[in-house]
A and B are shown apart, each in its own frame.
Chain A
Amino acid sequence: MSLFDQETERYLKEFRPREIREFAVAAQGRSVLWTPLIAAAAVALCAGGIFWFASHASRYTNHVAYVQPPALSVTSGSHNRSIMSLTSLGFTDNKRLEARLAEESRKSLPAFQGEHSSLKVLAKD
């Protein structure tokens, strides 16, 4: 480098850039940290909601599946048993069968003697 260049360089170094305002590094860092935290919270909330919905839905479907089959099996079993006993009674004692049928019909068929029975109203007409 020539003497002229060195002199010019010395001249330039007498000057310095004007100071600039402080950079808010802390604030920038804080905002950067918040972003993944908010994202993680949102993901956790979504996962919790899905889990809650899934557990409630499965509980409802389990309840229906559990209750219905035994009710059906009990009904059909007793129904089959009563048919068989009535059939055997029909072979052996016809009077007892009629008495049994009359008794059973009182339990299972609706009462036509009721005050608001539609059949009674129709019978009057």
Chain B
Amino acid sequence: MKSLYEKHGAALAAYACSCGLDHASAEDVVHQLFAKLLGDKAFVPLSPLAYLYRATRNASLNLRRDRKRETNLERTDFWLVHPAGDQDEILYLQQALRQLPEEQRETVFLKIWSGMTLLEISEMTEIPLNTVASRYRYALEKLRELSANKGRS
């Protein structure tokens, strides 16, 4: 469980942020999910990572819905890091990821930041490989479109 947290915790928190949470709340969501998995010994998901991604998304959307009336999202909250430290580039990508449909965004996170292959994602999520590959391709295409629009604006 600890290795799962060390390997995927940051990506899960970033995924929670892409669902509309600030980074501190995203950390709380991820911590609570891992604590639940550790506390409930009787509950062992078949695919822990798939469960964590789904549970992170659901918890994030619920939390965001509850807080919607209270606070506005912090637009300069960074949940991605770039070696060059280009903050504009980070904010642009974060915004672009948030515009992707849920299933495409999840595929991108699993592939890029959880280091899984499309076949592994297909097996883990029990979705046909062709569907997973299409989602990934559409996501990349959408990100390119958004990048082109940004270049024009």
Contacts and interface: CB of A to CB of B under 8 A. Distances in A.
Given A5-B137, A16-B113, A23 B34 contact: yes
B142 to A, nearest CB: 10
A9 B112 contact: yes
B144 A17 contact: no
Give the residue among B39, B78, B112 with the most A Cβ atoms within 10 A: B112
A59 to B, nearest CB: 44
Contacts of A28: 34-35, 38-39
Interface string A1-15: 100110011001111
* Closest CB pairs A-B (n = 8): A17-B14, A17-B10, A8-B140, A15-B80, A20-B13, A12-B112, A17-B11, A5-B140
**Interface size for chain A: under 10, 10 to 19, 20 to 34, or 35 or more residues?**
20 to 34
Contact of A15 (B13, B90, B141, B144): B90
Contacts of B81: 15-19
Contacts of A19: 10, 81
A25 interface: yes
**Interface size for chain B: under 10, 10 to 19, 20 to 34, or 35 or more residues?**
35 or more
Interface of B: 1-2, 5, 9-11, 13-14, 23, 26-27, 30-31, 34-35, 38-39, 41, 78-83, 90, 93, 108, 111-113, 137, 140-141, 143-144
Interface of A: 1, 4-5, 8-9, 12-21, 23, 25, 28-29, 31-32
A14 B90 CA distance: 11
Nearest to B93: A15
B143 A25 contact: no
A107 B151 CA distance: 127
Contacts of B35: 28
Nearest to A31: B39
Nearest to B78: A18
A125 B80 CA distance: 115
B82 A15 contact: yes
Given A1-B137, A14-B83, A23 B5 contact: yes
Nearest to B143: A8
A85 to B, nearest CB: 82
Contacts of B41: 32
